[in-house]
Structures are given as C-alpha cells and as structure tokens.
Chain A
Amino acid sequence: MAIATTYTPIATQTLGSAASTFTFSSIPQTYTDLLVVSNANTTNGSDSEIHYVINSDSGNHYSKTFMYGNGSSVITFRDSTLSGGENGGLAVAGSYFATASFHFMNYSNTTTYKIMLLQSAAGTNSAAIGAYLWRGSTGSSTEAITRLDFTVAGGGNFNTGTSFTLYGILAA
C-alpha cells in the first residue's frame, strides 16, 4: 500500500554561512503533527547536541527519556527538569551531516502537554531515540506550538550547508 501523501513542506532553511539558530515561527495550526528533519554539521571542534525550545520557553518545563548506542554500549537516561530539549539529535563536527527527525504529536491542541519523538542518526557517533515532553510555558499549561528554535547545545554554530525542514502532517 502506498504511503499517504501527507508531508507538506511548511518551511525549509539551508545555511549559506554558519549560524547559531534555526527558527520556525508563526507555524500554521492546520495540521495534526509536525515533523522537523535536520541535516546538521557544526563548526564546533566536536560533535554537539542539538537543543530546541518551544514557543521561546526556556523554563524548566521539558523532560526526556533517551537511549543511544555508540557501537559498543547502550546508554539510557531520564531528566524531568530540562530547560529545553537537549540531546535532541546531533550536529556532527566531521565531514558529513548527521540526520535527525523530530516528530511533534498533536502540536496544535490546547488540551494536552506536547510529546515529541526523536530519531537521531550520526553514522560515526551514535544511533539514538528519545521521547520528550513539554509541559507548556508555565510548567502546567497546554498551549499549542507556534514556534520552534533549534540551536547547538552549549553554544557554537551550525555549519554552512546545514538544513532544517518543517513538514506538516495531516491525519486525514
């Protein structure tokens, strides 16, 4: 059975020069889910995690359950007081661009906390999956997602050629 034609590109950005932030603002509320696909490299001297925040909220309102394999061992950890989504994929420092997908479920509803599922593929570093939760800008609110910002965790820039694309996915 063919896959339904539901990946509607909302916005895409590819860096012509190094920059610290990718921003998707004024996100339309007309889809069911959001999918962000990154292809990321960093100017930092080592592989760096991608950090994201929702609706410019940098409060301690995020949690994650994360698991990754580095080729020899499996590591899993849990944090419930994050100030954004850390370890949300990788920007690698090597000669390629790591891939990550960030799937935000039911982002436009105003009745539930927001879940994001992560898959991160960095062929020389790790394969990782994660489940993230955002509890709204007050820590107990359920507003819709209207803006997403992605940065290199700990500072630094994404390298030239790094791309982030935002897709909308309709349930029907």
Chain B
Amino acid sequence: MATVNPTLIASQVVGSGGAASVTFSSIPNTYTDLLISLSTRNDTSSSNTMYIALNGSTSSFTFKQLFGDGGAAHSGSGSTNEIGVSNSAAYTASTFSNTSIYIPNYTSSNYKSISVDTVVENNATTSYALFYASLWSNTAAVTSVSFTLTSGNFAQYSTAYLYGIKNS
C-alpha cells in the first residue's frame, strides 16, 4: 500500500478559557520524522516566546536563530528550549502566529536536530519571521511533545497538529 504522508497523528484546538500548555503524548514510533504545525495566540501581552519540552524535558536544548523584523536581519543563540514565537494579546486582534517544526529521525538514539519556521503577524511596523536550528542533546526517542509560553495561556482557537512522515 502506498505511503500516505504526512499522516495526522493528533490535533488539538484550544477552547474557551485558554490552555497553559499543549501536549502530544504517547507518540507512536512507527514514523521516520515528525512535523508539527502550530497556529497560536497568547492571552497576555507581556511576551510572545514559545517553548518546547520533549519527553517532559526542558533541558539540554540549544539553538541558533535567524530572523527579520521588517527593518533588519538578526541572529541569536541560546541554551534554552525556546522554539518559536506566538502572537501576543497586544498584537492585532484575531491574528495568530504560524509555526512549523520538523524533527527528523525522532526515534533514533542520536541527539535530535530540530528545524523551525515561525512567523508572527501584527498590523504595525514591526513583526517577525524567524528560522531556528535547534538541538536537543538527548538520545531518547521522542514520545511526547509539549508547548508552553513565557507566561499566560494559549488563547482560544489556537491549534496544534502533529503529523508523522515515513520515508518508505
């Protein structure tokens, strides 16, 4: 039978009242790569940084980032589990950020390399488009993925889709 890619493994839509985190657990080990698609907005205006936890772990992460804000290009790095940005409540109403996260060979015993595209939109001079190269220096197979914010909750109608991709 032909391989169907990507295969939707699970999805979540945040309901009224928001959610402090979004989690996919018991991820099957039957795929080659994972693809996660996020559309998110915060219920606070203080920050828009989003974080990832793999298997409940928020340690042993590093990243390099390349981003533009409409005025200049920048690069940054860190030793945190930062994984993208989410539209804050201060941004234009009814706009959500988009984030695409690719985790190849998520069941391997190698460290996990992560590629992230993320954009926020705001009807103002400054907005952001970012590309992250992230690394989780852990050899465990990925069995769960969680997302949180610096503070506050994911707003209602934020969505998260987890896909599996097979290479054969």
A interface residue numbers (CB < 8 A to B): 2-3, 5-9, 12, 37, 39, 67-74, 76, 95-99, 101, 119-129, 161, 163, 165, 167
Contacts and interface: CB of A to CB of B under 8 A. Distances in A.
A101 B102 contact: yes
Contacts of B102: 99, 101
22 contacts: A5-B6, A5-B7, A7-B165, A8-B2, A12-B167, A37-B167, A68-B75, A69-B66, A96-B135, A99-B133, A101-B115, A121-B113, A121-B115, A121-B131, A121-B133, A121-B134, A122-B64, A123-B63, A161-B110, A165-B32, A165-B167, A167-B5
A114 to B, nearest CB: 23
B114 A99 contact: yes
Interface of B: 2-8, 11, 32-33, 35, 37, 62-67, 73-77, 102, 104-105, 108, 110-117, 131-135, 137, 161, 163, 165-168
Contacts, number: 140
A129 B161 CA distance: 24
A129 B35 CA distance: 19
B111 A71 contact: no
A119 B133 CA distance: 9
Contact of A122 (B75, B112, B133): B133
Contact of B37 (A3, A68, A70, A125): A3
A3 B100 CA distance: 12
A77 to B, nearest CB: 13
Given A69-B65, A69-B75, A165-B32, A3 B6 contact: yes
Contacts of A99: 102, 104, 113-115, 133
Nearest to B11: A2
Nearest 9 A/B pairs, CB to CB: A69-B75, A123-B135, A71-B77, A7-B5, A69-B66, A121-B133, A96-B111, A121-B115, A127-B133
Report whether over half of chain B's contact residues are helix, strand or loop; otherwise say mixed.
Answer: strand
A101 B35 CA distance: 13
A148 to B, nearest CB: 16
Contacts of B65: 69, 71, 127
Contacts of A12: 32, 167-168
Contact of A126 (B64, B111, B167): B64
Nearest to B72: A74
Given A5-B5, A69-B75, A97-B105, A127 B32 contact: no
Given A2-B8, A123-B133, A127-B132, A97 B110 contact: yes
A60 to B, nearest CB: 28
Contacts of B115: 99, 101, 119, 121
Contact of A74 (B62, B74, B112): B74
Contact of A95 (B32, B75, B137, B167): B137
Contact of B113 (A6, A74, A119, A122): A122
B73 A67 contact: yes
A35 B131 CA distance: 18
